[in-house]
Amino acid sequence: MRVSYQCNFRYFIDTHFIDGIVLCHLPEGPTAFFKINSLKFTKDIKVGQSLSSLILNNFNTRLGHTVARMFACLFPHEPMFTGRRVVTFHNQRDYIFFRHHRF
């Protein structure tokens, strides 16, 4: 049967609202689901061609190190940073705050 028919039959709806993100560290790594509270799309942000520097704050526990490594793998590793963009992931009381700064 078609997927759309089954979705309609079970009353699944698409609200066009992004409420979460799943990170899978393949082939045998952990999988994490993060709930998203607010979101801005890339088309709404003025982005240049330079790479971003990554700052990870308060990922001190064993689980925190694992999650921080998952986030770090999303960005290219550039040891000689020359750009003007900074991406910050800040862990506070089981919430992870994400900020994108351009200076």
Domain boundaries, the chain: 3-102
Query: pLDDT at position 60, please?
Result: 96
Render 59-94 in DSSP notation, one character per residue: --SHHHHHHHHHHHTTS---SS---SEEEEEEEETT
Question: What is the Cα–Cα distance from 86 to 53, expressed in whole angstroms?
Answer: 5
pTM of the full structure: 0.75
Query: pLDDT at position 102, please?
Result: 80
Run means of pLDDT, 10 residues per run, the chain, 103 residues: 73 75 87 90 76 92 94 84 86 92 81
Looking up tokens 């609200």, which residue turns up? 15
Question: What is the Cα–Cα distance from 54 to 79, expressed in whole angstroms?
Answer: 11
**Tokens at residue 75, please?**
């960005």
Q: How is the beta sheet containing 85-92 ordered, strand by strand? A: 52-57, 85-92, 95-102
